[in-house]
Amino acid sequence: MTIARPIRKAVFPVAGLGTRFLPATKAVPKEMLTVVDRPVIQHVVDEARAAGIEHFIFVTGRNKAVIEDHFDSQFELERTLAERGKQKELAHLMSELPAAGQTSFTRQQAPLGLGHAVWCARDIVGNEPFALLLPDMLHHAPKPCMTEMIEAYAEHGGNHIAVAPVPDDQAHQYGIVGVTDAQAKISRVTGMVEKPKPGTAPSNLHITGRYILQPEIFELLARGQRGAGGEIQITDSMIELQKTQPFHAVRFDGTIYDCGSKIGFLMANVAYALARDDIGPELRAGLKGLI
């Protein structure tokens, strides 16, 4: 039996402009908008870290330097906290600081699609399997989505995609997978299609923005084939890779918040705040008063 190589690295595409949140994102990256008191990108990095990821690779663009600053040491802030005796706050900051060499940043100079963003990380990832997490999509559940995926990968090897059901009449809005058993927690993928025409989807399971991919995906992305929207789509290369390598779908049973949309972002703030012991009860009471 072949032992699957461990997943040590994760790629985070953070080069998007965030036009749906203008003017808030005119000078602040959309990934740095906060869900409660943590930037969206921090929530996603936390998910990867909890799954055992050791190296965090950010594919950035113009005006994204603040993301790099966020994951770096802030000497003046740390000194001020120490001088003011705020040891709890300082300890919290230091506990979340990535170790030296754990973060890498590369630039996607042009908005050519998700597939192109992933390809930009090829030299940092190297010849090993890796995780891909889309920062807009927050996966909220007691057990992190990426943890479930790495457990599935350890059992089956190959490539893995997180999926979740959507109403049948909305399937044409998403990347959809066909599987051998749509009710199973882990199922073999039989096909993939990006935004199928209404009524033609192979299932109602949509791709939720969490992947484990083998490095051969980079050879396919290097072809620069344009797909939906005239962009280089990761799904197109996954369809090609599936001809030679197995793919499994891992069904995520929690709640997914699309923080690229205003409603999804607001719902995420409410859900994450309600789940906290320190502010949840007071927020719940306040919401009752508003409604």
pLDDT digits (tens, 9 = 90+) for 188-228: 999 998 888 888 888 989 999 999 999 999 999 998 777 76
Angle at alpha carbon of residue 241, lines to 135 and 127, rounded to 5°: 70
How far is Cα 149 from Cα 80, in angstroms, rounded to an integer?
40
CATH class of domain segment(s) 9-290:
alpha beta
Q: What is the secondary structure of 158-220 as a DSSP string?
A: SEEEEEEE--GGGGGGSEEEEES-TTSSEEEEEEEEESPPTT--S-SEEEEEEEEE-TTHHHH
pLDDT of residue 3: 66
pLDDT of residue 169: 85
pLDDT of residue 229: 67
Count how many Cα atoms sit within 13 Å of the Cα of residue 199 in the half-sphere of its side chain.
0
pLDDT digits (tens, 9 = 90+) for 114-148: 999 999 999 999 999 999 999 999 999 999 999 99
Count how many Cα atoms sit within 13 Å of the Cα of residue 134 in the half-sphere of its side chain.
19
Where in the chain are the domains?
A: 9-290
Helix (H) or strand (E) run with residue 266 in it = helix 262-274
pLDDT of residue 145: 97
Q: Are 189 and 206 in contact (CB under 8 A)?
A: no
Q: Are 167 and 47 in contact (CB under 8 A)?
A: no
pLDDT of residue 2: 55
pLDDT of residue 199: 84
- Report residues of the chain scoring pLDDT below 70: 1-3, 228-229
